């Protein structure tokens, strides 16, 4: 079995988040004062986690594309959807991406990520049981409920192979929701007992932290199994006076 951890974090609050204005690839809005505090708190929270790979959106606040609705209030998007006789969650503004297109971008990224990790694992024999990869899981276990929510094969016991990688992704709410939808509907992601599907498919709060364990069985072709350890963790924001 080849296993790696995937930690996904949403960017900190922006002024547009607070004012419920749509922002995507066409709007590079910086973090608000609260957003900077959230990002700093998330950084401190994750400071001792050992990551082998880090991926981030190329926008200042961490690529979504909303077409003509970009930079407008959420109420305007809802009005557009109503005028078109559609519901807002599935409505595509002129020039914007459909939900399926966003989901496909998430799937493509995840497929490339899996290929990269599997290739590197095959090239690096030091990533074996008892090798330094065990420290990756140990650093995660210090702040995430690995033992509580992962099946036995994902626990840090001697019978389980160590993680070959620990990946950090910093992204955006809508993109994350589409990626997680792919995990749930296509890859049949297993959820912690404390988490239901509606909570899983909600939009992450700013700097919400989610952790997944990705498993590839030996000789397995195609899709991996995905286990959700936790969703939208916000422990790092407990000391803040204002959060999103």
- Give 156-159 contacts, CB < 8 A, sequence gap 24+: 158/129
Is 14 marked as binding a ligand? yes
Q: Is-contact 207 10, C-beta < 8 A?
A: yes
Concatenated DSSP letters of 52-65: SEEEE-SSTT----
- Rounded distance, CA 24 to CA 49, Å? 29
Is 15 marked as binding a ligand? yes
Longest Cα–Cα distance of the chain, Å, equals: 60
Is 4 marked as binding a ligand? no
Cα angle: 89, vertex 202, 234; to 5 degrees: 145
Is 11 marked as binding a ligand? yes
Is 3 marked as binding a ligand? no
Residues flagged as binding site: 10-17, 61
Binding-site positions for substrate read 10-17, 61
């Amino acid at each position: 079995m080849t296993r790696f951890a995937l930690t996904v974090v949403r960017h900190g609050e922006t002024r547009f988040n607070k004012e419920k204005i749509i922002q995507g690839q066409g709007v590079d809005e910086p973090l608000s004062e609260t957003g900077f505090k959230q990002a700093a708190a998330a950084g401190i929270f994750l400071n001792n986690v050992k990551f082998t790979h880090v991926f981030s959106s190329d926008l200042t606040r961490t690529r979504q594309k909303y077409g003509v609705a970009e930079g407008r209030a959420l109420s305007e998007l809802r009005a557009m959807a109503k005028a078109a006789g559609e519901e807002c969650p599935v409505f595509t503004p002129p020039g914007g991406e459909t939900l399926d297109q966003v989901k496909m971008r998430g799937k493509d990224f995840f497929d490339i990520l899996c290929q990269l990790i599997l290739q590197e694992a095959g090239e690096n024999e030091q990533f074996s049981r008892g090798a330094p990869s065990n420290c990756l899981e140990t650093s995660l276990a210090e702040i995430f409920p690995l033992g509580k929510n992962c099946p036995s094969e994902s626990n840090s016991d001697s019978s389980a192979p160590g993680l070959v990688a620990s990946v950090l992704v910093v992204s955006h709410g809508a993109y994350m929701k589409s990626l997680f939808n792919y995990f749930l509907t296509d890859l049949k992601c297993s959820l912690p007992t404390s988490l239901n599907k509606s909570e899983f498919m909600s939009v992450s709060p700013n700097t919400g932290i989610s952790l997944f364990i990705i498993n590839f069985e030996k000789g397995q072709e195609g899709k991996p199994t995905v286990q959700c350890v936790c969703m939208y963790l916000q422990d790092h924001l407990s000391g803040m006076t204002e959060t999103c």
